[in-house]
Amino acid sequence: MKKLFTLFIFQALVCFCLSAQKPVYLDDTKPIETRIDDLMSRLSLEDKIAIIHAQSKFSSPGVKRLGLPDFWTDDGPHGVRPDVLWDEWEQAGQTNDSCVAFPALTCLAATWNPNLAYRYGRALGEEARYRGKDMILGPGVNIYRTPLNGRNFEYMGEDPYLASVMVAPYIQGLQSTGVAACVKHFALNNHETNRHTTNIILSDRALYEIYLPAFKAAVQQGGAWGVMGAYNLYKNVHNCYNPILVNQILKGEWGYDGVLVSDWGGAHDTHQAIVGGLDMEFGSWTNGLDHGYPNAYDSYYLAQPYKELIQAGKYTTRELDDKVRRVLRLFFRTTLNNHRAQGFMCSDEHYDVALKVAQEGIVLLQNKNNVLPINTAKARRVLVVGENAIKMMTVGGGSSSLKVQHEILPIDGLKSRLAKENITVDYARGYVGDTTGNYNGVTTGQNLVDMRTVQQLIDEAVSKAREADYVVVFGGLNKSMHQDAEDGDRLSYSLPYDQDRLVTALAQVNKNLIFVNISGNAVAMPWKDSVPAIVQGWFIGSEAGKALASVLVGDANPSGKLPFTWYAKLEDCGAHRMGNFPGVKRPDEDVFDIEYQEGLYVGYRGVDKFKTRPLFAFGHGLSYSTFTLTDAKADKKELAATDSITFTVNVTNTGAIAGAETVQLYITDVKSTLERPNKELKAFKKVYLRPGETQAVSITIGRDALSYFDDRQHQWVAEPGDFIARIGTASDAIAANLRFKLK
């Protein structure tokens, strides 16, 4: 017994000594900043240089001798991109990287439901954890300035407030799993043409009021651990190391403590990268494999060239140490976090999240004569028309392209649902668009080739439409170049592939015509008045067919609201009405200057300013039920500087089925020193009501909702005076106007 006791004491002493010798950076009971201090003292110059740049297409190295794992990023923001080869964009051929495709962020924004945004982010984070990813390259919050932007489908619409409210919970949900968000593309990345060489010119007011708020919310409310710099230039400096955007605003005014990551290939200069605030460099187009350093990644601007400048005494380690501290902070939040959530993929819960986001985001734009929902008691034959009914949309579009476990096509979803009612579903191609189906080695496996002429396709569809009870056209755009796709903008506002001819012909032979627009952008609709029902179907991922069918037959009551203005014609958009889109090339320079001459007047702000009439207004979206807003009132008439004011309105479901309505609050400054838009969204709340039910919806705002950015003083100003709170269900559907005063 004495020997056993002695052995126990010896083991206890050994454990005590080992724990006493445990490096501080490995002790997760210590504050992160204390652990960073300890790690900084252990890192060599080579270690510090290594962790601030990539070692492969999507990873950066840790520090092996100190037990710091490699750091792995992956594209989002709608699902976890399939693994690619170490040094190439082509997929690696893994068998365990098929994912759930969640709806594109335009659809998420159209839900106007922050709770769904959190669930979306959480589910995406769990999929990323299963795949061993530490950072998802998303979400995107660039403003919808023009409907020609090929990448709008990845963003959250035209309004800075809506995008701010929706992005914060997405980030919180994602990062609750221990996976970092990387909010992109900071900033002013509002079109794709000449995206590497476009210099943006705009006022400070437009910058602060329109283009920065969602990024600020991502950082200060969402707590984002990563921000990605954009390709374009601002004030003649690339944004991945723009001293105004990165050092002054992001890290200075906003107090951001995370990392600024370059977009892939967004760095172009070592000096600017050093002093301009770039923390992690990825994807630079160096060619060290053929000349120079033996490892291409050593050729990065923040790699061997940076190290040699420090060794030569051209720079101290002051800037480097700040970058390294930020990267270590990121490590402690992710790879060195021992309490990260469990990861898993393709769960029933994830598919449920994808389905619910899709159902709540689908927007019923028009429904004359209550053509929708499809009357399954009377219909016996439904004709489906259009390539987008049969084309997979999860593959393509750029870096958000996915390899999915499954994607329910619109025609399959509708067939499955209508089969329960013994309704026959027929199909006519209608038009032929892009019949390819691959991106970076991921293929759809579909053969969509059809050699018939445009007229033959239209004739077949018209012939079948004459015999159908309903005709559902799945048209719109796709994820091919010059449609909804990265690295290129749309060349026209019109629908491609002669779809206007097709829809016009079908409208002449069937009065129950439904057009479902699959896209991330608005499109011209010259046939709008002759088509009774129009639905915005977005790119909605794995559960697309199921979600669309549920809305079309009325199993789900649509409640989506447009996150952007749907212009009648392109010239009604301020960027095209006043601007020089997509920029003017400088003589003898590969730089395109584009001036945002419309300033603050983006989207519905421009509609009010220029007195145009959109096809569908910002915030618009119908339901199969009806709602009324009554008895609007404010809790006070005057608002002190530190006060808040609460507006209350009764919302009643006056229809026969349960549904949801979104109360929107816009603010008008009656008189201000600087010109302001006629109204600006400052709050909203979505409410779910049973038939006949009434709820009192309360919305509270403070002084910040009344402020504008005074670029002469470089500060936010809320001027005393009269304001009007406009309460409604869309930017053009105001039910009440309440006047109040800021003292």
The residues that are catalytic are 263
- List the Cα angle 475/479/483 in 5-degree steps: 75
The answer to whether residues 416 and 470 touch, using CB atoms and an 8 Å cutoff, is no
First to last CA, the chain: 83
Q: Look-up: residue for tokens 């499809």?
A: 374
CA 345 → CA 97, 133, 261, 305, 682, distances in Å?
A: 9, 12, 27, 41, 37
Q: Look-up: residue for tokens 């990121």?
A: 330
Residues 6+ apart with CB under 8 A from 5: none
Crossing angle for the helix pair 318-333 and 32-42, to the nearest 10 degrees: 130
- Cα dihedral 538, 541, 545, 546, rounded to 10, equals -110
Q: 14 by DSSP, 3-state: which?
A: helix
Residue 294, burial from CB neighbour count under 10 angstroms (0-12, 13-18, 19+): exposed
The answer to whether residues 385 and 461 touch, using CB atoms and an 8 Å cutoff, is yes
Q: Look-up: residue for tokens 């033996």?
A: 294
The whole-angstrom separation of Cα 212 and Cα 190 is: 12
- Cα dihedral 198, 204, 209, 215, rounded to 10, equals 60
CA 109 → CA 165, 173, 337, 643, 646, distances in Å?
A: 9, 15, 31, 30, 25
Residue type, 444: T
Residue 260, burial from CB neighbour count under 10 angstroms (0-12, 13-18, 19+): buried
